[in-house]
A and B are shown apart, each in its own frame.
Chain A
Amino acid sequence: MAEAIQKNKYVDPRPPVIGPGHDFGSITRKVGDIVTMRGFKKGWIFGFAIVFMGSVMMFNTIAYLVLKGVGIWGNNIPVGWAFDIINFVWWIGIGHAGTLISAILLLLRQSWRNSINRFAEAMTLFAVACAGMFPALHTGRPWMDYYLFPLPNTMGMWPNFRSPLMWDVFAVTTYMTVSALFWFMGLIPDFATMRDTAKKKWQKITFAALAMGWRGDARHWHRYETAYLLLAGLSTPLVLSVHTIVSFDFSTGIIPGWHATIFPPYFVAGAVYAGFAMVLTLAIPVRKYYHLEDFITMRHIRNCCKVMLATGLIVAYGYMMEAFMAWYSGNTYELFMMKNRMFGPYGFMYWLLILCNVVVPWTLWVKKLRDNLKWIFVVCMFINVGMWLERFVIIVMSLNRDFNPAAWRMYYPTIFDFTMFFGTVGFFLTLMFLFIRFVPMIPIFELKTLLPQGKVDEKKVEELEHGKGPVGQSPLPQFGD
């Protein structure tokens, strides 16, 4: 019987998602020590200093921006949106991978997600924070932004619910809230672990507070699992809706290059594409620096590459369809828009986009290159740039030459466009640095479920339930050791 089972049992030919030789204790130590270690690693301090300067640059730009007005950027008429909205969409896109990995892959029972999900969720959160800054600050009078919320007021004024910007407000704030909840909830068991393993008193107190009284009780686990699943279910449509709605910012407009039905799927795919590229951009160096090769294995990286290949295909299809529909529609404006994209004054941006988002990433079809970490990192950087260019192509190159030729005009960024953009990159990385150092970046408890000892032997459970097995032995992994 056992043999038969053995015969019929599907044996996963892929390498395991966790390195060999680990037990519960080693995982806790490996991940937890990064947080509870004394002092700081020199590399961390060096890196942090650089990215923190980026944050400072961002805050200074914001101060100047609020004092002087959005005119410090290069936006003009007709190009009312430029770096501001490009960056917004870029960051929001990056923010997609986290929730996708956490929620959708959870629902799809992709256990390999477990070692990278926390990391990706944090990335999401920080990226959305960066993204949210742009629509809030790109308005002419940011102190009046509260007009965008449906707040009761004496004038009885409501926001305009027909406007996609209005939908954006709801979509992004909801996404931000749910992502934050999801992230924090996933952290609770780990905070408990940290509380239990921390040596210093202040660490114990802090982690105790953050763990919210988690004791690893079966009932806790039961409720945790249910709530986590529910949140995952809630997040899943959000992953699709946020970028769909962000794409409505454009597709409900009448500007050629914006007014396209393909936008929602194309944007969502692009977002996942960008998100995974960013996950890898961050994971590859962190994995090496903290020696986490056992937890973030080549299998993870290969899987990410495959997701990128899939979504990259959708994105490339989107580019193709834009060109095709411009021709197929026979619409003068659409046709001109496409020609302007390809051969207009910004034409090189379009071809650079094709290079970054289609040509270079497709090298990952080659298996050998999917194993080459350095190349993958390079490809991810290309995608990061490419996705930014995509938004430039869509936003600036549609606006700068639309219907009325007399109103056509070039757009050129100013120094403040760059300080704001790179400032948010700095701010994002600052938050990432803090996260890596002060929060367990890999979910310890979920990693443990990947260990053989973490697997529930269903036969044993059956025996237990029927009172045949030894009593008192929990089928669940023990925490805190």
Chain B
Amino acid sequence: MSATYARVAQDDTRAGGIILMIASSLAAVLVFAGLFYAMGTGARHEAALAAAGCEPSLSPSGLPCTTTAMLKNQYAAILTPDSKQLAADTAAYTANEGKNLAVAQAVLTAEVTTERAFDTSLAGITFPPAITPIAKALFQADQARANLTAQQAQSSSLTQMRSFNHRVQAASATVQTELTLLGKALGRG
């Protein structure tokens, strides 16, 4: 019995050695394959830059590339909340422009704050050279609208306030056009 157990134990131990050798060999192959694969990083990096629309040295995380996807995410992160806030402000202004000067002024002031916050955030994004002019145009158009809205908020009467509406709408249309252009440039629209 003792011999039987010893033989079984020896076989079991040998099996452990074989398992370990196989796993270890597989690991060695994978390590060498990984190192071999890593040697082609440079070429793949260049290809990836071209394929993903990367811009070197723009990454906020220190990675050597900012992809179009990353830019889109950054842009969406500022655009989405500001758009929602502006929509709410516009609705509130429309509801009050004919009846309550103080509330309408407060709404317009809030709108100016939102627009300027968007401009500041937009200026914080580093766009690739091809997109930078579009982003600048959007920035300027939004600044113009914010200035106009600020003037509108200082109106002393509801009539005077409503007289700005057409100019503000025209400025908003310009902003919308620039937004569309930037969205297209980033592949959003």
A binds B: no
Q: A: which residues have CB within 8 A of B?
A: none
Report B's interface with A, CB cutoff 8 A: none
